[in-house]
């Protein structure tokens, strides 16, 4: 049997962010429609006394013939060795015979599908004439978050903010060159308060444990994507924003309510109800939910990720790479 090996550079040659946005939309619809078999992930502490962890995320999306598993290994000590601290691999399996058909670089896959899910939410929830964007956080996930929004809206000015202003400046310089085809001016700022009251779209992608912007200052009609806050003690979004939000959507209700401090904390404090959170973006894409109804509505999307995104995006990458003759085949 042949196995197709797809490295980061192969994946970036095979697909663009719009391909993955469409894949993510299919994954979201499939999940909300009950077409996904996504077991709980398995976490193994590799070495007692250290923080090394292996995480296995299997799943099957029947309608997309997407069967496989993503493996993420958390090895913080790798940084001291000059290695990536969270190497990741995606394995795709042929559902007809059970053989492995492809092995993909899981790190770039994760970045693409995570950025793309924000792009999908922005595409269906943000005002169509949105021109300004604020990205808070310029770490490893930031570039695809930025590109996904630029891909679905005609953004003129994209502001980027980070706790480390020098990192924000360097990021803006790199993105102005890499993403110049979109025609947006990418501008570093020292504090989100500089523009929080004027931007049309906001994406937060941090590991903050306290809100990263002032929810009282956002303008009517803003759309917000919250990508960080993927553990119960993390919180990027101010509770007052959730209180005033007109529409809230999640990638998966179960995952967000169980894992995201952005909602766990304000629910526990009695500031919002669990029922306000329970609206999946997949149901909106299926026409089962109502999205933005006016230019003044404030919309908020929360993602914590789920294996279905990896599977459908991985399958899309595999199919496009095969069509274009990209990657390297090995015999097993």
Write down the pLDDT at residue 244.
96
Q: At 307, list the tokens.
A: 């294996």
Strand duo 53-61 + 36-37: pairing: antiparallel
In a domain, 122, yes or no: no
Q: 3-state DSSP call for residue 154?
A: coil
Task: Output 216-221 pairs: Cβ under 8 A, ≥24 positions apart.
Answer: 216/240, 217/193, 218/298, 220/295, 220/296, 220/297, 220/298, 221/127, 221/295, 221/296, 221/297, 221/298
| Residues 244 and 146 both lie in one domain | yes
In a domain, 270, yes or no: yes
| Residues 177 and 313 both lie in one domain | no
| Residues 133 and 228 both lie in one domain | yes
| Residues 299 and 318 both lie in one domain | no
Q: How many domains does the chain have?
A: 2
In a domain, 119, yes or no: no
Write down the pLDDT at residue 62.
86
| Residues 103 and 133 both lie in one domain | no
DSSP label at residue 38: -
- Domain hosting 200: range is 128-305
Q: State how far the Cα of 74 lies from the Cα of 52, in Å rounded to an integer.
A: 6
Q: State how far the Cα of 23 lies from the Cα of 239, in Å rounded to an integer.
A: 31
Chunk the chain into consecutive blocks of 10 residues (it has 332) and report each block's average pLDDT, rounded to whole numbers: 96 98 98 91 79 90 92 85 89 96 97 98 99 96 97 99 96 98 98 96 95 96 95 94 98 94 96 96 98 98 96 98 98 88
| Residues 100 and 209 both lie in one domain | no
| Residues 180 and 98 both lie in one domain | no
Write down the pLDDT at residue 49.
65
What confidence tens digit (pLDDT) does each residue in 206-241 have? 989 999 999 999 999 999 999 998 889 999 999 999
In a domain, 320, yes or no: yes
| Residues 263 and 156 both lie in one domain | yes
| Residues 215 and 235 both lie in one domain | yes
| Residues 78 and 226 both lie in one domain | no
In a domain, 246, yes or no: yes
Q: What is the CATH number of the domain that holds 10?
A: 3.30.1780.10
Q: State how far the Cα of 138 lies from the Cα of 161, in Å rounded to an integer.
A: 7
């Amino acid at each position: 049997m042949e196995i197709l090996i797809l490295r980061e550079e192969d994946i970036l040659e095979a697909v663009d962010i719009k391909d993955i946005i469409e894949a993510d939309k299919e994954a979201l619809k499939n999940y909300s429609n009950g077409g996904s078999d996504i077991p709980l992930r398995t976490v193994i502490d590799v070495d007692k006394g250290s923080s090394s962890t292996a995480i296995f995320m299997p799943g099957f999306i029947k309608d997309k013939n997407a069967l496989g598993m993503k493996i993420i290994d958390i090895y913080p000590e790798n940084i001291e060795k000059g290695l990536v601290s969270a190497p990741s691999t995606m394995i795709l399996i042929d559902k007809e015979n059970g053989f492995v058909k492809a092995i993909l670089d899981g790190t770039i896959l994760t970045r693409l599908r995570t950025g793309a899910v924000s792009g999908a939410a922005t595409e269906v929830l943000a005002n169509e004439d949105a021109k300004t964007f604020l990205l808070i956080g310029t770490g490893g996930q930031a570039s695809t978050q930025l590109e996904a929004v630029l891909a679905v809206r005609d953004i003129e000015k994209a502001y980027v903010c980070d706790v480390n202003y020098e990192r924000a400046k360097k990021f803006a310089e790199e993105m102005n060159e890499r993403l110049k085809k979109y025609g947006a001016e990418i501008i570093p700022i020292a504090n989100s308060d500089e523009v929080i009251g004027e931007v049309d779209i906001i994406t937060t992608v941090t590991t903050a444990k306290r809100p990263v912007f002032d929810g009282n200052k956002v303008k009517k009609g803003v759309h917000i994507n919250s990508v960080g806050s993927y553990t119960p003690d993390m919180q990027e979004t101010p509770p007052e924003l959730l209180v005033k939000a007109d529409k809230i959507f999640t990638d998966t209700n179960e995952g967000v309510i169980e894992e995201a401090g952005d909602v766990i904390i304000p629910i526990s404090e009695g500031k919002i109800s669990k029922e306000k959170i329970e609206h999946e973006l997949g149901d909106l894409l299926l026409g089962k939910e109502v999205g933005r109804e006016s230019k003044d509505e404030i919309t908020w999307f929360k993602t914590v990720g789920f294996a279905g995104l990896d599977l459908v995006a991985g399958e899309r990458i595999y199919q496009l790479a095969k069509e274009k003759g990209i990657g390297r085949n090995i015999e097993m």
